[in-house]
Amino acid sequence: MRCIVTAGPTVEPLDAVRRLTNHSTGTLGTDLANHLACCGHEVLLLRSRTATAAPALHAVTTEPFGTSRELLERFQALATHEPVAIFHAAAVGDFEIGAVFRRDDDGRLTPVHSGKFSTRDGSLLAELRPTPKILAQLRDLYPKSWITGWKYEVDGTRDEVLARARAQLEDSHSDAVVANGPAHGPGFTWLTRTSEHPVPDARALNRILEQALPARTQ
């Protein structure tokens, strides 16, 4: 089965030197890609250039990405009506940097343009613009595919996390979602439209994700 896995953080530049990113290492997505390849699947791993996890196995084809828009463009270029399995585990940032402003003494905001912002510019205000919602576009790009998204949550209770995961499942028209994060607590929960399964660790999650493929793709 042809599989596409994403892993690692997106990186949004503030200037030519600095960037907005997150703490993802790319370990979960890279390990999943390795597992799928060892099970005999054809795997393409879209992996962040800044992922710090060990590289994927030689059996896995790897293509790099940086920003969220670049990752979306990868998906658009690969779009197909053939059935594939997509595991969108990358930690896509919610915001990218828009305009940067300096506040004048009278309170007015003046746009600032620089290859590298300096403290000589004084206090700066950076506009944060929402990034494209990649998961929400995958069903149109891959109409016959089995699509699994992730729902990582920091705030709220476990029940609230699962409720958000179910909402994501419906809103994105995906087939499954993996819920995890500090608000979820240890392990994961794998949800489909008809079932929910607690999963103790990443190794068990990889097995479940791979074993779910034949029911949808054969």
- Tell me the average pLDDT across 75-86: 97
Residue that the structure tokens 């658009």 belong to? 76
Domain identity same for 90 and 7: yes
Domain identity same for 136 and 124: no
Q: How many CA atoms lie within 13 A of 166 on its CB side?
A: 11
Domain that holds residue 105: 97-128
Closest CA to 126 of 105, 94, 95: 95
Task: Please work out, in degrees rounded to the nearest 5, the angle formed at the alpha carbon of residue 73 by the alpha carbons of 67 and 78.
Answer: 135
Distance of CA 47 to the CA centre of its chain: 10
pLDDT tens for residues 177-197?
Answer: 999 999 999 999 999 999 999
Say what the pLDDT of residue 168 is: 97
Mean model confidence pLDDT for the chain: 94
Could you report how far apart the first and last alpha carbons of the chain are, in Å? Answer: 9
Query: Measured between alpha carbons, how far is 40 from 59 in angstroms, rounded to an integer?
Result: 9
Domain identity same for 54 and 109: no
Domain identity same for 210 and 109: no
Domain count, the chain: 2
When pLDDT is cut at 50, 70 and 90, the band that residue 216 belongs to is very low
Domain identity same for 188 and 113: no
Domain identity same for 172 and 82: yes
- Out of 79-93, 112-126, 192-206, pick the least confident: 112-126
CATH number at residue 38: 3.40.50.10300
User: What percentage of the chain has pLDDT greater than the value 70?
Assistant: 98
